[in-house]
Amino acid sequence: MSEANVQVLNADFVPECARVMALGFCDSPSYNYIFRGTKEYRVQALEWTFARNILMVLDKCQSALRGMLNSNGEVICCFLWIPAALADSSLWEMIKAGVWLMPFKFGVSTVSRLLNIIDQMERNSDGNSQTAHGSRRDALKLERMVVRPDYQGQGVGSRALRSVLDEASQMEKSVEIHLETQEERNVEFYTRLGFQVTNTKDFYEDEPEYTFRSWHMVQKTS
């Protein structure tokens, strides 16, 4: 494939990015726990949820959605690159984005699991002295990094992340970049790019079918 550069994507790309992210994360253990059902259902639910989440983020940080396009203008890689201080959303922001419709579309039990897992992960991060929650002014969060399946194995993801890591290294102050992953194969990928595991936690050990491990990883620019 020809060289593609990471660029800031505007709101016009939200539906396509939400779709690419949904396809990339539909088998992720945490989303299997939240959206129980067929893979097709999970993709649809994630696409709807991700689209609203991205719009909430863009309302606060217009440069947060990053991606790479192929020669046809299609999204082949995308992710959120967010100042940690802007990562959380208020109740009003969620209502404004239409998240209040979620119980009607996917059921109260699904929403309950979603809120439960968000709460547990946030408390886990709060307990880690090296999380973005402990240094919000000087931290960035990398979320939902995904490469379209037909472009995987070509160095697209590595090139995309190196681009924004280089950008972070040019900032006046040293910053920490934080991420969470629930897939072990991703730990090796991020480690090669300079991230270090600072915390691990197992979730829902009382439900063997849905038990998963989450890795918190950090990289600090010099």
Rounded to a whole number of angstroms, the distance between the first and last alpha carbons of the chain is 32
82 close to 143: Cβ distance less than 8 angstroms = yes
Are 40 and 54 in contact by the 8 Å Cβ rule? The answer is no
Q: What is the pLDDT of residue 138?
A: 74
Distance CA 1, CA 80 (A): 23
Neighbours of 157 (CB within 10 A): 22
> Crossing angle of helices 156-169/184-192, nearest 10°?
50
Which residues is 79 bridged to in the sheet?
Answer: 66
Tens-digit pLDDT profile for the chain (222 aa)?
456 799 999 999 999 999 999 999 999 999 999 999 999 999 999 999 999 999 999 999 999 999 999 999 999 999 999 998 887 767 667 777 777 888 999 999 999 998 888 888 877 665 554 444 445 557 999 999 999 999 999 999 999 999 999 999 998 889 999 999 999 999 999 999 999 999 999 998 888 888 999 999 999 987
pLDDT on residue 133: 43
What's the confidence (pLDDT) of residue 137? 59
Residue 5, judged by CB atoms within 10 A of its CB (0-12, 13-18, 19+), counts as exposed
**Cβ 24 vs Cβ 147: under 8 Å:** yes
* pTM, entire model: 0.89
Q: Determine the 3-state secondary structure of 67 from DSSP.
A: strand
| Secondary structure of residue 155 in the 3-state scheme | coil
Structure token digits, residue 67: 């991606």
Name all domains of the chain by residue range, CATH numbers in brackets: 7-220 (3.40.630.30)
